[in-house]
Structure 1
Amino acid sequence: MGTIADPSNSLKPGLKQRHLTMLSLGGVIGAGLFVGSSAIISQAGPLSFVTYAITGLLVLFVMRMLGEMAAAKPCTGSFTDYARMAYGRFAGFSTGWLYWYFWVIVVGFEAVVGGQMIHNWIPSLPVWAIALGLMIIMTCVNMLSVGSFGEAEYWFAGIKVVAIVAFIAAAGLFAFGIWPGASLTFDNMTQHGGLLPDGLATLFVGVVVVIFSMTGVEVVTIAAAESAEPAKAIRKAVNSVVFRILAFFVISTFLIVMIVPWNTIVPGESPFVAAMDRIGIPGSANLLNLVILVAVLSVLNSGLYTASRLLFVMGARGDAPQWMTTTNNRGVPVKGILSCTVIGYGCVVLSALYPDTVFLFLINASGAVFLFVYFMICISELRLRRRWEKQNPGILEFRMWLYPVLPLLVTAAIVAVLVSMGLREQNRIELFQGIAVWIALSIIYLLRKKFGNVSNNDVIDGNLITPIPASSSTSTPGTSSAPA
């Protein structure tokens, strides 16, 4: 049956509903939207907003599947626990470490991006020193309490949401001729090669890039386990996904291509700045750079939180050293947070020493990793839905639509995106490096199983594990007594 963890090693429900609401609203807004959208617009043309709509629909369905499982059995480990419930220890082990790898690399990357932005404003400060300072600040925020994380993310997300709403309001007035000196015209969409200048296929090829700009929507299902009413918070967050994606991605991109000729947008340069310059808003570039910096700090904050909570869960499950489950009197997994920052500091050093080799490898490998996680969410829901309905039909109050047809179609779509990455030369390296990371984790798992005295018996109460209660002492049946 496993061992019972120290009752003092428990997370505490320090997140309020307003924290989770703003986390779910602003978590998806980052540099991928503010700057990355330039690549999609320049590639797909005037109908680039359709690419965002297609990708948003895919993300919505994945989140609905995750929400179904999370509302039925809220777990701090979220989809890593559901993968374990559905397919056993290896599935939970690999999914957990893949997702952890993704976030710690992103933390290091965002620290460097923040350092570069501030360096542009204050050239006397080296990038590595600024990145180090940002890491230390966000580490201290996470170390205080889960409430401190939630409060910081509340304000970070709030600034991002206000910025997007203000942009949509101003751009909407201009695009539809209500702004002084503006007139309603669709010339920028119909001229310059038409609606589909490079063919219909470009709308779907862009999904490979766009899906990574929407990462972060799933974090709320992990954070909800540290709230007073996790199931309610999860349902509310998942239900709002479609509105967030519609407003933040689809509408803003549509307005940009109405205001600015799509073929004048330069990949790597923010199309939001180009649109605001066309509208005539003074100081738009500096204002947007400040918002992007807030977005970077937000990702740093949530990345440290997510990665440390995963280490906590994996330590409790026997997939990471058990000292990762140690918490202080505020319910903060201090050692887990510090472990994640070590990787972040390493990424900062690698980016300074090997900007075009090692660090680039880490970033490329993290791309496909996220799609692997989405794939595991889909196949876990397909198995657990059937199992849970037999065991306790009433547990599924929040359901995925058109089961099993729609979940199967979503799974096939994710596989198609992965295959397209292998077929496209510019994305092939990301797929192969992601596969290499998964193979490395598989080898580590097999070595641990052979030499590490890892228990193979995780079956408790008809499932492979039981959820971790966030609001009480943490009991973790089914974990191994041996450290990883």
Structure 2
Amino acid sequence: MSTQEQGNLKHGLSNRHIQLIALGGAIGTGLFLGISQSIKLAGPSVILGYAIAGFIAFLMMRQLGEMVVEEPVSGSFSHFAYKYWGPFAGFMSGWNYWVLNVLVCMAELSAIGLYIQYWWPQIPTWASALTFFILINGINLLHVKFFGEMEFWFSIVKILAILAMIAFGSYLLATGTAGPQASISNLWALGGFFPFGVEGLVMAMAVIIFAFGGIELFGITAAEARDPDKTLPKAVNQIIYRILIFYIATLLVLFSLFPWNQMAQGGSPFVMVFASLDSQGVATLLNFVILTAAVSVYNGTSYCSSRMLLGLAQQGNAPKVFARINKRGIPTNAVILSAAVTILCVLLNYIFPEKAFGLLMMLVVAAIVINWVVISWTHLKFRKFMMRQGQTTKFPSFMYPFSNYLCMVFMLGILVVMSLTPDMRVAVMMIPGWILCLMVAYQFKRRKLKAEQPVHALEADM
């Protein structure tokens, strides 16, 4: 084995890196672009929807957080599913999460193309996707600290921009300079807070959950965290309330500035609102920030997909070639394979430039449902194991075991909503086929392993 194959992951991620990686994963296209679809379905009640989804995400994060504090390993919940649930569970959850991250990468690259077209409509989405694909993957092949620093500053830009937008929007409302349409009464004046009833909010939850689909990124960073016993609990507890403040405060300002029924026309509501208020400079700046947000999420999920593939290889659930780590602490082969699959996004945007993002978004939501259910169920198994061993954990989850069942029922409810939504139904129909493919792949892996065992035994005797 070469020196390159004997490297180790570097403990180069501090608390600020981990918090902002998770923030970066959750503050992205799901909020800035996906919100237009959820507004169309639920109107102002999406604010309540984000609060509900945020609470479920917090419960799931505490469950995952309890496990990663005890065992800060690469592969995160795939490792835990493998250890506490069973080999197939680890195989399934790991590959599902890898595919989830690749799909998110593809969705964010598709969104980047749409944001670039705000300035240069003549540039095809596939060209922008290809440009940023090359840029980000080049950086991810350097050093984990470069990734952490880049994600830190990307997230800082997003957070400062959101705070500035809240402050500027509040100023416009307070001074009455936002125009006659601006009023807090927009929250209830146009058909009420639930213009499409509670049913509208329920139907919007599948789109809303997409916005929280990167929040579990902190679990993948565990193996590269400094002082995980202190860093990870602090990150978990601080991430969620910051995200909720950003989401809810931002949406309150947005709905107050502009009638919601005019925001539900597609594109980014954030850019559209400020452009319509004759704040073209602010709209341009916001589009830059939203572009940064998409690049940030793509950066984070690229990192995450390579580390999950590394974890799968270390478990024996992926070819050993993906377990190799170079001298800089980068799993180069895992990064390259993840990138090679992600580049299919360029082809998808070339063939379906108008539909690529929507198609990818619904596939991501289906994968998120599988992932979060696996985390909650695995955590139940983990806690039972710890109780049998007479051990107490350092960072207990919130409301165990009720929170586990609540999370799973909620996520299965999302599948029901998706099955009732024509544009999303195909993603639900693909889940049984996807799980069947994983079962076939797992059986193939087992048979291959059994066939190799006599050979290894013979080599050991020689």
> Scaled by the length of structure 2, what TM-score is found?
0.90
CA distance in 1, matches of 2:430, 2:440: 15
CA contact (8 A) 1:107 1:303 kept: yes
Counterpart position of 1:399: 396
With over 3 angstroms needed to count, the CA separation of the structure-2 counterparts of 1:65 and 1:6, relative to structure 1, is same
Indicate which of 436, 439, 447 corresponds to 1:442.
439
CA distance in 2, matches of 1:426, 1:235: 38
CA contact (8 A) 2:102 2:342 kept: yes
**Superposition pairs for residues 146-295 of structure 1, below 5 Å?**
146-175=144-173, 177-178=174-175, 185-277=183-275, 281-295=279-293
Unaligned runs of 5+ in 2: 454-458
Counterpart position of 1:463: none
**Superposition pairs for residues 373-412 of structure 1, below 5 Å?**
373-394=371-392, 396-412=393-409
Listed one character per residue, the Cα deviations across residues 166-204 of structure 1 (whole Å, up to 9, x for unaligned) are: 1111223334x2565779953312322122222122222
CA distance in 1, matches of 2:279, 2:108: 28
Indicate which of 299, 315, 318 corresponds to 1:317.
315
CA contact (8 A) 2:105 2:298 kept: yes
Match for 1:22: what amino acid?
L
Bigger fraction of residues in helix: 2
Match for 2:417: what amino acid?
S
Match for 2:439: what amino acid?
S
CA contact (8 A) 2:102 2:301 kept: yes
**Superposition pairs for residues 45-194 of structure 1, below 5 Å?**
45-118=43-116, 121-122=119-120, 126-175=124-173, 177-178=174-175, 185-194=183-192
Range with greater deviation from structure 2 (352-361 or 418-427): 352-361
Range with greater deviation from structure 2 (98-107 or 400-409): 400-409
CA distance in 1, matches of 2:344, 2:280: 39
Check if 1:303 corresponds to 2:323.
Answer: no
CA distance in 1, matches of 2:206, 2:358: 18
CA contact (8 A) 2:107 2:360 kept: no
SS of the aligned residue for 2:327 comes to coil
Q: Aligned Cα RMSD in Å? A: 2.7
CA distance in 1, matches of 2:451, 2:277: 62
CA contact (8 A) 2:110 2:357 kept: no
Match for 1:152: what amino acid?
M
Match for 2:20: what amino acid?
M
Match for 2:323: what amino acid?
T
With over 3 angstroms needed to count, the CA separation of the structure-2 counterparts of 1:455 and 1:293, relative to structure 1, is farther
Query: CA offset at residue 143 of structure 1?
Result: 0.7
Match for 2:32: what amino acid?
F
CA distance in 2, matches of 1:196, 1:361: 27
Percent sequence identity is 33
CA contact (8 A) 2:5 2:324 kept: no
CA contact (8 A) 1:36 1:267 kept: no
With over 3 angstroms needed to count, the CA separation of the structure-2 counterparts of 1:235 and 1:179, relative to structure 1, is farther
Match for 2:50: what amino acid?
Y
Counterpart position of 1:338: 336
**Superposition pairs for residues 409-448 of structure 1, below 5 Å?**
409-448=406-445
Unaligned runs of 5+ in 1: 457-480
- Count residues in correspondence: 451
CA contact (8 A) 1:12 1:226 kept: yes
CA distance in 1, matches of 2:304, 2:98: 8
Query: CA offset at residue 355 of structure 1?
Result: 5.3
Match for 2:406: what amino acid?
L
Range with greater deviation from structure 2 (240-249 or 215-224): 240-249
